[in-house]
Amino acid sequence: PDSQAETPVTDSVEQRPKPISEPLVTHIYTADPSAHVFDGKIYIYPSHDIESGVKEDDLGSHFDMKDYHILSMDSITGETKDNGVALDIKDIPWAGKQLWAPDAAFANGKYYLYFPAKDKSDVFKIGVAVSTSPIGPFKAEAKPIEGSYSIDPAVFTDTDGSSYMYFGGIWGGQLQRWTAGKYDANGSKTDAQKDEEPAISPRVAKLNKSMLGFAGAVKEVKILDKEGKELLGKNHDRRFFEASWMHKYNGKYYFSYSTGDTHFICYATGDSPYGPFTYRGVVLNPVIGWTNHHSIVEIKGKWYLFYHDSILSGGKTHLRSVKVTELIHNADGSIVTIEPYVK
Ligand code: FUB
C-alpha cells in the first residue's frame, strides 16, 4: 500500500496472521523500540502510541505521541516492566507536537535520551534529555540539538568510545525538505521525486564529548548496490525511508533501516561508521501496520531484533506493540531474513 491511511489487516480474528512473537507489554501501545544493555540489564526506548483522534494522512499526523515510557527486562525471557513516564512533551521547552522514535546512550556517567519532535513551527528537529538513571526521569535541554533536523535518531557508540547519530526520514519525516542545510516549507511532501537520481540519503553526525551536540558536519550516508552505484529514487524496495539503526558485528558496520512505503527492514554493510554501505538484503519482512521499525542488539552472546506490529490493536497503524525475536548472522556475515508471521 502507498498510503499511511491504509491498515492492511483483516477484520476476521480467524484469518489474522499468526505472529512469531507476542507484544512485550499490552497495557499500553508502544513502537519503534531502541534496545540497549546498560549495566547488564535490558532497556527498551520506544515511542508511546496513543489514540489522540488526529486523522490519518500520508504525513503521519496520526502519530501524535505525547510522552515516553521506558521498558526494562532483567533477562530476555523475563517480564517486561513499564517504568512510567520518563519525559513528557509539556516539559520539552521547544517542542510543539509528535514525539516520534527515540533512542538512548550512556556516557559521562549519565543517560541521554534522543528524540524527534516537531517544533512550534511544525519542523521536525532532534532533542536530547539527560538523566542519572536509564529509566529517567529525563530533563530536556532548552533547545533542539544544533544542526539537527528530521526524525528517528539512532545513537551508536563504537568500540573506541566515539558516538555517532544516524537520523532522517522522508515523507512525514521531512528529510526531502532539507537541502543545503535549509528547510523548505513548500518542498515535496514525499521524496525528491527524481526516480533516476540517487535516493535521498540518511544522515550521520559524530556526537561531541558532552553528548549534547554534533562534533562536526552532518554527512550523508551513502547506500550502494553491488556495482558500487548509489540506490536510485525509484528503487522503493531498497532505498532508505526512515528508522536508521547501526550495529557492529565481526568488525563490520551494519546500517539497517526501513523502506517505508514498501515496508521492509533492510541492511547494508560497510567498513566505517560513516559508510558507504553496500545493500545486502532484508532483515524483517513487512509487519501488520504500515510502519516497520526496529533495533538490533547483542544480549549475552546472542543477537536480537526488537520490532513492532499492529496486531494487538487489530491493525491500527498508529497503535503498535513492541516485540522481540532472535536474529541470526550467517557465517558469511549475511543476516537471515525474519518472517514475522507463521506462513
Ligand atoms: O512512530 C512514529 C514514526 O513512525 C517513527 O518515527 C517512524 O520511524 C515510524 O515508525
pLDDT tens, N- to C-terminus, the chain (343 residues): 345 544 555 556 567 789 999 999 999 999 999 999 999 999 999 999 999 999 999 899 999 999 999 999 999 999 999 999 999 999 999 999 999 999 999 999 999 999 999 999 999 999 999 999 999 999 999 999 999 999 999 999 999 999 999 999 999 999 999 988 899 999 999 999 999 999 999 999 999 999 999 999 999 999 999 999 999 999 999 999 999 999 999 999 999 999 999 999 999 999 999 999 999 999 999 999 999 999 999 999 999 999 999 999 999 999 999 999 999 999 999 999 999 999 8
**Nearest atom of ligand 1 to the alpha carbon of 98:** 2
> Which residue, chain included where needed, has cell 558485528?
249
Q: What does the pLDDT read at residue 13?
A: 59
- Answer yes or no: is the C-beta of 9 below 6 A from any ligand 1 atom: no
Q: How many angstroms does the Cα of residue 32 sit away from the middle of ligand 1?
A: 6
Helix, strand, coil fractions of the chain, as percent rounded to 5: 5, 40, 55
ipTM passes above 0.90: yes
Q: What does the pLDDT read at residue 5?
A: 47
**Nearest atom of ligand 1 to the alpha carbon of 49:** 1
Q: Which residues contact 301 (CB under 8 A, 6 or more apart)?
A: none
Q: What does the pLDDT read at residue 1?
A: 37
CA atoms of 7 and 288, how far apart (whole Å): 8
Marked catalytic residue, from 191, 242, 261, 309: 242
- Answer yes or no: is the C-beta of 31 below 6 A from any ligand 1 atom: yes
Q: What does the pLDDT read at residue 15?
A: 72
- Answer yes or no: is the C-beta of 101 below 6 A from any ligand 1 atom: yes
CA atoms of 217 and 219, how far apart (whole Å): 6
Catalytic site residue 237? Answer: no
3-state secondary structure (DSSP) of residue 208: coil
**Nearest atom of ligand 1 to the alpha carbon of 173:** 6
Q: How many angstroms does the Cα of residue 46 sit away from the middle of ligand 1?
A: 10
Cell digits of residue 5:
491511511
Catalytic site residue 160? Answer: no
Q: What does the pLDDT read at residue 2?
A: 45
Q: What does the pLDDT read at residue 180?
A: 80
Q: What does the pLDDT read at residue 321?
A: 98
Burial category of 97 from C-beta neighbours within 10 Å (exposed 0-12, middle 13-18, buried 19 and up): middle
Under a CB-based contact definition with an 8 Å cutoff, are residues 236 and 262 in contact?
A: yes
Mutation test residue for ligand 1: of 28, 32, 66, the one with most atoms within 8 Å of CB: 32
Q: Which residues contact 118 (CB under 8 A, 6 or more apart)?
A: 95, 96, 97, 98, 124, 125
Burial category of 151 from C-beta neighbours within 10 Å (exposed 0-12, middle 13-18, buried 19 and up): buried
3-state secondary structure (DSSP) of residue 127: strand
List of E strands, 150-294? 154-157, 163-167, 178-179, 182-183, 203-206, 219-220, 223-224, 242-249, 252-258, 265-270, 277-284
Sign of the alpha-carbon dihedral angle for 10, 12, 14, 19? positive
Q: What does the pLDDT read at residue 10?
A: 57
Peptide bond into 137 cis (omega under 30): yes
